Amino acid sequence: MKKSIYYSLLMSAMMSVAAAEETRQVDKHEHGVGELNIAVEGSAINLEFMIPGADIVGFEYEAKSDSDIALVNTALSKFQDLENIFTLSSSGNCNLVDAEVEINQGDDHEDEHDHEDEHDHEDEHDHDEHEEEAHNEFVAHYSFTCGNVKEIDRIDFPYFTTFPNSGELEIQFVSEVGSTSFEVEGDKPFIDLKGKI
Amino acid sequence: MLLKLSLSSLYARLVTVGMTVIAISFSLMLYMSVEKLRTSAYTSFTDTISQTDLIIGARASSVQLMLYSVFRIGNATNNITWESYLDVVNKEEVDWAVPISLGDSHKGFRVMGTNKDFFTRYKYRGGQSINIDKGYLFEDLYDVVLGAGVAEKLGYDIDTPLIVAHGLQSFSEHDDQPFRVSGILEKTGTPVDNTVIVSLAAIEAIHVDWSTGAKIPGQETPIEEIRKMDLTPKNITAALIGVKSKLTIFNLQRWINEYPEEAMTAILPGAALQELWRVVGVVENLLLGISIVVIFTTLIGMTAIMFSSLSERRREMAIWRAMGASPRTVVGLLMLEAIFISVLSILLSVILLFFSLSILQPWIDYNYGILVNVEMLSLRDMYVFMTFIFASILVSLLPAIRAYWFSINDGMTIKI
């Protein structure tokens, strides 16, 4: 009897190891390096920022104290007002159609755990990812429709002055012309898009 | 009057002045050709692959994935399974996908397994397709298509038999399953030229009797039997992906990078090329730096020549003074001389550059796959020329001031 308990314990331990092994991968996370993806097609231009919390508010744990929550909220409102973050050249004649700003904190998927009865692989995976992803990240999406998308020849980033803790921005850019990448830092806070759209 | 005087004075010293002009124009040409090669290499490099939205492969750095999948430099860390590939292909964002399998070679050229879509989907130089020069794409299991460079360097033609070697530098060959050249591609100036292309099924077929990198001894499945087998690949090295809408690229990229069942990486080819170029860029800046130093040295050389000619020309200056030229005019004459020399050098360097480029262009394209654009000078070149003329006026001030003192002290007679 006792033996069989040991066995089942051993078995369950082995199984959870196996399950964890399958999915044990973590997204990279580097302080001082924010990511930005820009996609252009037709008259639409989408920008998508993913910035580590340290670059924006200076900490990466989940905001629990009032002052931390206040910091996060101020930061989020700065992202809402996109003039603080970036400006497209005005000749593009672009109008914002959609903006979504959020912070991915450690406990985002809290409710997902409520309906876990069995130790199913899927849940194990969620759990795993969960523990590793203690860093928070600001995510902001902006979509524009432009009257003259080809006229956009430059994007400036007041982002660097808005958030003095920010490091560089790694930018992936794609349009019908092709894709390219940029590394932008505060001392030269813009990208030149001549001939790239 | 002053102009004419200066010109005839230069003409009188044709050999010295001529040599100076030649020296300067060569150094300017060096600068310009480095600059031209640099920009052309960049465009050729970024033109290697176009209209492919994503490249996927096993988890690796984007530069590494780019290098082995497109440039066939280095090796893959891992392959990806066919199941994962199908999972990606079945995503609704995906418009088309071309699998690539690498790892074998033929006489130093990489063998790439792919399907016929590769020839319509792979684009270079802003959307140019690969064209077939002779023969046809693979119809039979053991047909191969050669890049132009392979065919030429190995002297192969349609129907030439060939044997694929296992691995990149190995003595074990797949000699039980000989191939036959069915088609030869036109020259593209891309790594495709140096690639031996077979079907994915062929890659699978030649490895039927192989297990973990070695041939299973004594086991030889007859070709007839292999032909009847299911030759769907079990894994591939990389895949080129096209999406339906550019706006969905990043979502798809994230989905692939976070794909839980297998560690994969998806890259945007242009972005990875740009990243790689930032690394290579250090070397090209070095080249540029060297050619700027060369220009600078030549400027100093020009000053030195002007200085040394000064003592010879004291008599000439005395005559100028006797004819009523003021010491200031003497200074002006020398500066005018410097301007003449630099303008003449610039003209000569441009002529030399275009002459040599138009001769070398086909050769550079052929050997290095870099298409040097022999076109008009860039605005940047103009700036450099203006700066050069200005700099030469500045450095000529030194001998000119000396000449000024000579002419004041000497007057019309030379006291040595």
**Does B370 fall in a domain?**
yes
Please give the pLDDT value at position B133. Answer: 92
User: How many residues comprise chain B?
Assistant: 416
- B31 to chain A, minimum CA–CA distance in Å? 26
A178 neighbourhood in chain B, CB within 8 Å: 46, 50-51, 269-270
Check whether B241 has a pLDDT greater than 80. yes
B99 and B11, same structural domain? no
A48 neighbourhood in chain B, CB within 8 Å: 250
Check whether A108 has a pLDDT greater than 50. no
| Pairwise CB contact (< 8 Å): B261 & A179 | no
ipTM for the whole predicted complex goes beyond 0.95: no
**Residue A71 forms contact with B (CB below 8 Å):** no
B285 and B257, same structural domain? no
**Does B61 fall in a domain?**
yes
Question: What confidence tier does B412 reach under pLDDT thresholds 50, 70, 90?
Answer: low
Place of tokens 């910035």: A51
| Pairwise CB contact (< 8 Å): A22 & B260 | yes
Q: Over the stretch B361-382, which tens digit does the pLDDT of each residue have?
A: 888 877 776 777 777 778 888 8
Higher per-residue pLDDT: B362 or A12 = B362
B137 and B230, same structural domain? yes
Question: Rg of chain A over CA atoms, in angstroms?
Answer: 22
Average pLDDT over residues A40-60: 90
Check whether B193 has a pLDDT greater than 70. yes
Q: Over the stretch B244-294, which tens digit does the pLDDT of each residue have?
A: 999 999 999 999 999 998 999 999 999 999 888 888 878 888 888 888 898
**Does B274 fall in a domain?**
no
User: How many residues comprise chain A?
Assistant: 197
**Does B416 fall in a domain?**
no
* Beta-carbon pairs below 8 A across chains A and B: 57
Q: Beta partners for B238?
A: B57, B100
- Secondary structure (3-state) at B56: strand
**Residue A46 forms contact with B (CB below 8 Å):** yes
The C-alpha atoms of residue A18 and residue A36 are separated, in whole angstroms, by 35
Last residue of a domain, one of B244, B267, B290: B267
**Residue A41 forms contact with B (CB below 8 Å):** yes
Six token digits for residue A63 = 């905001």
pTM passes above 0.90: no
CA-nearest residue to A23 within chain B is B260
Higher per-residue pLDDT: B264 or B210 = B264
CA neighbor of B148 nearest in space, from B365, B327, B357, B331: B365
The helix or strand, by DSSP H or E, that contains position B151, with its residue range, turns out to be helix B148-154
CA neighbor of B330 nearest in space, from B313, B350, B354, B345: B313
DSSP A2-59: HHHHHHHHHHHHHHHHHHHHHT-------TTEEEEEEEEETTEEEEEEEEEHHHHTS-
Which member of A22, A39, A183 has the closest CB to residue B249? A39
Check whether A129 has a pLDDT greater than 60. no
- Secondary structure (3-state) at A191: strand
Q: Over the stretch B292-343, which tens digit does the pLDDT of each residue have?
A: 898 888 888 888 888 888 877 777 777 877 887 787 888 888 888 888 889 9
**Does B147 fall in a domain?**
yes
Six token digits for residue B379 = 């605005």
B196 and B151, same structural domain? yes
**Residue A36 forms contact with B (CB below 8 Å):** no
**Residue A39 forms contact with B (CB below 8 Å):** yes
Question: What confidence tier does B200 reach under pLDDT thresholds 50, 70, 90?
Answer: very high
**Does B275 fall in a domain?**
no
Average pLDDT over residues A141-160: 92
Q: What is the mean pLDDT of chain B?
A: 86
Check whether A126 has a pLDDT greater than 80. no
Question: What confidence tier does B183 reach under pLDDT thresholds 50, 70, 90?
Answer: very high
CA neighbor of B192 nearest in space, from B123, B143, B240: B123
B330 and B185, same structural domain? no
Range of the domain at B170: 54-267
What's at A99, amino acid-wise? A
Q: Could you tell me if B162 and B106 are in contact, meaning their C-beta atoms sit under 8 angstroms apart?
A: yes
What ranges in chain A are assigned the alpha helix state H? 2-22, 53-56, 66-80, 121-132, 159-162
Which member of B50, B53, B250 has the closest CB to residue A37? B250
Check whether A122 has a pLDDT greater than 50. no
Q: Over the stretch B218-237, which tens digit does the pLDDT of each residue have?
A: 667 778 788 888 888 989 99
B242 and B161, same structural domain? yes
Lowest-confidence pick of A71-80, B32-41, B203-212, B404-413: B404-413
Domain range annotation of chain A: 2-192
Number of folded domains that form chain B: 2
Check whether B199 has a pLDDT greater than 70. yes
B240 and B194, same structural domain? yes
Please give the pLDDT value at position A65. Answer: 86
End-to-end CA distance of chain A: 71
Q: Could you tell me if B165 and B105 are in contact, meaning their C-beta atoms sit under 8 angstroms apart?
A: yes
B145 and B7, same structural domain? no
Q: Which range has the top average pLDDT, A39-48, B208-217, B334-343?
A: A39-48
Which member of A39, A125, A180 has the closest CB to residue B270? A180
Six token digits for residue B49 = 């692959």
**Does B185 fall in a domain?**
yes
Q: Over the stretch B151-167, which tens digit does the pLDDT of each residue have?
A: 998 999 999 998 888 87
Q: From edge to edge, which strands make up the β-sheet containing A137-146?
A: A94-104, A137-146, A44-52, A33-41, A168-175, A178-184
CA-nearest residue to B46 within chain A is A180
β-pairing verdict for B238-243 and A154-156: unpaired
B200 and B65, same structural domain? yes
B175 and B87, same structural domain? yes
